[in-house]
Amino acid sequence: MSTFTLTDTQCYHCGTENPKAPYQYDGKSFCCIGCQSVYQVLSSNNLCSYYTYNDAPGQTQAQSLQHYEYLDEPGIAAKLVDYADENITVVSFYVPAIHCSSCIWLLEHLHKLDKGVVHSRIDFLKKQVSITFKHQEISFRKLVELMVSVGYEPLISLQDVVKEKQQSVNRELIKRIAVAGFCMGNVMLLSFPEYLGLSSFEQQFRTLFTWLNLAFAIPVTFYSAREFFVSAVAGLKNKMVNLDAPLALIIAVLFLRSAFEIIAQTGPGFTDTLTGLVFLLLMGRWVKQRTYYHLSFKRDYRSYFPVAVTVLRGIREKSVAIEELAVGDRIFIRNNEIIPADAILMKGNATVDFSFVTGESEPVSKVLGEIVYAGGRQVGEAIELEVVKPVSQSYLTRLWNNDAFAEKDNSIQNFNDNIAKYFGIAMFVIAIGAAAYWFLQNDSARAWNAFTAVLIVACPCVLSLSTPFTLSAVLSIFDKNRFYLKNTDVVEQLARVDTIVFDKTGTITSPDAIGLSFSGTLTEDEKVMVASLARNSTHPLSREILRWLDPGLYFDVLAFTELPGKGVYGIIKSQQVIMGSPAMLASVSKMNLTKVPSVVHLEIANVYKGYFQLKQSWRPGLAGLFQSLSLKYDMHLLSGDNESDGNRLAEIFPNTQMHFRQSPQDKLDYISKLQTQDKKVMMFGDGLNDAGALRQSDLGVAVTDNINSFSPGCDAILDGRSLSSLPKFLLQAKDGVKTIRLSLCISASYNLIGVWFAVQGLLSPLTAAVLMPLSTVTIIVFTSVATHFFATKNSLT
């Protein structure tokens, strides 16, 4: 334990200069950005105690876990969580130890180790885990200690760990590689007399060299290879054989056998094999990490949440991309819109649905000045908030992948999960069987080679990682073409689609109406009242009316309510204002409005004022799109409007079944009926009136036009400008699945061939250690190249 004062110029652990810059100060602790060491303030004279997150030599696990006492401080924990309410907390950690499919399996099953953990989700490429837990059953500190106990210590910082560490090099891994490489070089040098058969001439030098080799093997075993043992023990504690278990066993046997032979003077041992094996395994891990990073696209689907947000600039509203949102911005959130960043409520009555975060649909009321967490959906009148925390697009995308919305089967991913779970056990059985066979043949050398080579060369990562890398590459291509899928599973769903259903308004119609008129007359005050009501809604027709009226000011709207498929109403200046279908109007019984074409009716203070009529245009290339899709897919069109556009639509969309006057429930029932006929249905809608149908479908796609509105239950977001590229997306998805099957064949062939030579004792452990990382990198490169080849063929590059 050492101390420092604020006048010191560098971190005691890593030497980071200028403590004012690298330390985050909260009054009780500091955190070094350079090495993540924590300095705990002991007294008011700035005297601090120092400790790091890594175990010091000789520390017990209990002593190590005491380092997390600072997480019991509510002020520190509050800065680290993504969301918290009276029942649950959501937090994200960067975990450097994540490196294989077994890591994913174990971390996603933390709920089996402690019932306080609700669920956890892994982002493998970013080495990030998002955990939802019940803080009344397990504290923040106990959660971290649970992760440490199973061998996955999180790197905790008061800053955004993922952003800070995403491009950084794992310095600890490089140190271990350097130690292993140095020791391997010296062991090889000292072993040359043994290799050349000269050791028998100088027995004294032979003894000295073997003892020196053992000395070099000690740091390699207990420092460089330490993570293999820690990971293996953690897995066994939780009744699981992970990928590091067989490697740890091999390293332990090599060291013990070498130590016995050298101490008993019965042989030179296997220190050259041991040091070379550890060096190559660590180098393979480093190569894979660098490959993962370089193949991870810059603006990937995990860190890009493709919706816009409305920022207030005085009385004017400006729609900006979510990544441009800054702390201090005043944002305007309408009914059903997502709150994109932690913000303070400044105006309006906030009733927030946090089902996007927690899966619970009970709305939560917020008062002025109260913080509202990112991911909540406003229900009711529009509100104004001030952003207090930078937007995290990766966090919003993780919310989109909330388990509450994940109900669809994925056979490929299930196959990979089974590989991770059972592969290690299968390889142990094969290795022990091969060794037993050669021992029975009185060939102990070949038995040893067979046992070690099988455990090293058999790599489930080659099988299990080919799928996510292929699908991630497909998602990067879709992302560049403005088609955003919430996760890799959706690509498989997209490839299996055989039926496509389109909503009309806001989906196939252009966002810009070519003509809008009002049948009656309105005073200036009434125009502002109508615009104020329309401003609270995200429906395409409301946006067009607001744009047409374009008032210079707005009135406050009370008791705002939006009924899907019907309309909106609210109290403005003590008068009830209603816009929508005839069913919404209080005066409808006195009038015959059923024959009026697709319009928006208006009523103020129980007096019918007239209707807004829009002449809508279709999106560019729509006729060619439907004609192309109808050749391969069963096409359907659903609309809540009447049949006035039926003849016009029939000319543009041949071979398409059309249904009008469809309520949101009718649309949902229609999708269900198609699914009973064994159809794989993809539904396109605006995410508002058809949210239920989107979720019911096998693949729901929300079509947006630069607005902050879509259904959390949808599987994808399509920019309206890219609708004409839909046939290309469907073809790319099928090619992606084809690439996966090819890579699985290659991977299976590699493992079978490698194991075939290994069980015969024809493959040395060192050769196997070289082949293991090379095989993984080869498959990853193949999937990436093949995916981009198909993208070029499909004109998506």
Q: What is the pLDDT of residue 195?
A: 61
Whether residue 458 is predicted with pLDDT greater than 60 in this model: the reply is yes
Tell me if 117 is assigned to some domain.
Answer: yes
Together in a domain, 1 and 93: no
- Output DSSP code: residue 619: P
54 is written with which tokens? 């890594």
Tell me if 364 is assigned to some domain.
Answer: no
Tell me if 747 is assigned to some domain.
Answer: no
Q: What is the pLDDT of residue 729?
A: 93
Please say whether the beta carbons of 700 and 683 come within 8 A: yes
How many structural domains is the chain composed of? 5
Q: What is the pLDDT of residue 33?
A: 47
pLDDT category at 728 given cuts 50, 70, 90 is very high
How far is 301 from 400, CA to CA, in rounded Å? 11
Tell me if 665 is assigned to some domain.
Answer: yes
Q: What are phi and psi of 599, to 5 degrees?
A: -145, 175
Together in a domain, 527 and 625: no
Q: What is the pLDDT of residue 217?
A: 92
Q: What is the pLDDT of residue 7?
A: 41
Helices 765-793 and 271-295 meet at what angle, rounded to 10? 10
Whether residue 457 is predicted with pLDDT greater than 80 in this model: the reply is no
Together in a domain, 171 and 286: yes
pLDDT category at 422 given cuts 50, 70, 90 is low
Beta strand 575-580 pairing with 377-378: unpaired
**What average pLDDT does range 596-604 have in this prediction?**
77
Q: Which helix (H) or strand (E) holds 579?
A: strand 575-580
pLDDT category at 745 given cuts 50, 70, 90 is confident
Q: What is the pLDDT of residue 702?
A: 83
Whether residue 666 is predicted with pLDDT greater than 90 in this model: the reply is no
Please say whether the beta carbons of 84 and 135 come within 8 A: yes
Q: What is the pLDDT of residue 59?
A: 42
How far is 417 from 401, CA to CA, in rounded Å? 18
Q: What is the pLDDT of residue 499?
A: 92
Tell me if 334 is assigned to some domain.
Answer: no
Q: State which amino acid sits at residue 783.
A: T
By CB atoms closer than 10 A (0-12, 13-18, 19+), residue 365 is exposed
Q: What are phi and psi of 346, to 5 degrees?
A: -110, -30
Whether residue 358 is predicted with pLDDT greater than 70 in this model: the reply is no
Question: Could you say which of 616, 638, 665 is where a domain stops?
Answer: 616
Together in a domain, 199 and 242: yes
**What average pLDDT does range 577-587 have in this prediction?**
80
pLDDT digits (tens, 9 = 90+) for 671-681: 999 999 999 99
168 is written with which tokens? 């950084």
Q: Which of 225, 93, 99, 79 is nearest to 148 (CA)?
A: 93
766 is written with which tokens? 């060192």
**What average pLDDT does range 672-698 have in this prediction?**
84
Tell me if 537 is assigned to some domain.
Answer: yes
Between the CA of residue 652 and those of 508, 619, 645, 721, what are the distances in Å? 12, 12, 11, 19
Together in a domain, 533 and 482: no
Whether residue 45 is predicted with pLDDT greater than 60 in this model: the reply is no
Choice among 46-50, 146-150, 482-486 with the minimum mean pLDDT? 46-50
* Percent of the chain whose pLDDT exceeds 70: 72
- pLDDT greater at residue 176 or residue 68: 176
Mean pLDDT for the chain?
75
- pLDDT greater at residue 214 or residue 694: 214
pLDDT category at 302 given cuts 50, 70, 90 is very low
Whether residue 225 is predicted with pLDDT greater than 70 in this model: the reply is yes
Together in a domain, 692 and 639: yes
Together in a domain, 703 and 689: yes
* Percent of the chain whose pLDDT exceeds 90: 9
Question: Could you say which of 566, 591, 616 is where a domain stops?
Answer: 616
Tell me if 480 is assigned to some domain.
Answer: yes
Together in a domain, 178 and 280: yes
- pLDDT greater at residue 5 or residue 628: 628
Q: What is the pLDDT of residue 196?
A: 65
How far is 190 from 196, CA to CA, in rounded Å? 11
Task: Give 722-738 as a DSSP string.
Answer: GGGGHHHHHHHHHHHHH
Distance between first and last Cα of the chain: 56
How far is 42 from 47, CA to CA, in rounded Å? 6
Question: Could you say which of 145, 179, 204 is where a domain stops?
Answer: 145
Domain that holds residue 209: 167-291
pLDDT digits (tens, 9 = 90+) for 749-787: 887 888 888 888 888 776 776 676 677 677 778 888 888
| Locus of tokens 């590699």 | 750
Together in a domain, 179 and 282: yes
Q: What is the pLDDT of residue 169?
A: 46
3-state helix, strand, coil in the chain (%, to 5): 45, 20, 35
Please say whether the beta carbons of 661 and 598 come within 8 A: no
Give the CATH number, domain containing residue 545. Answer: 3.40.1110.10
**What average pLDDT does range 719-748 have in this prediction?**
87
Together in a domain, 521 and 647: no
How far is 393 from 398, CA to CA, in rounded Å? 9
Q: What is the pLDDT of residue 392?
A: 66
How far is 86 from 278, CA to CA, in rounded Å? 48
Tell me if 314 is assigned to some domain.
Answer: no
Together in a domain, 491 and 640: yes
How far is 332 from 320, CA to CA, in rounded Å? 12
Q: Which helix (H) or strand (E) holds 344?
A: strand 343-347
How far is 408 from 680, CA to CA, in rounded Å? 12
Whether residue 383 is predicted with pLDDT greater than 80 in this model: the reply is yes
Q: What is the pLDDT of residue 89?
A: 86
Q: What are phi and psi of 309, to 5 degrees?
A: -135, 145
- pLDDT greater at residue 47 or residue 125: 125
How far is 21 from 234, CA to CA, in rounded Å? 37
Q: State which amino acid sits at residue 465.
A: L
Together in a domain, 645 and 713: yes
**What average pLDDT does range 288-296 have in this prediction?**
55
Q: What is the pLDDT of residue 242?
A: 66
| Locus of tokens 């350097």 | 178
pLDDT category at 727 given cuts 50, 70, 90 is very high
pLDDT category at 637 given cuts 50, 70, 90 is confident
How far is 171 from 229, CA to CA, in rounded Å? 19
Give the CATH number, domain containing residue 683. Answer: 3.40.50.1000
- pLDDT greater at residue 531 or residue 566: 531
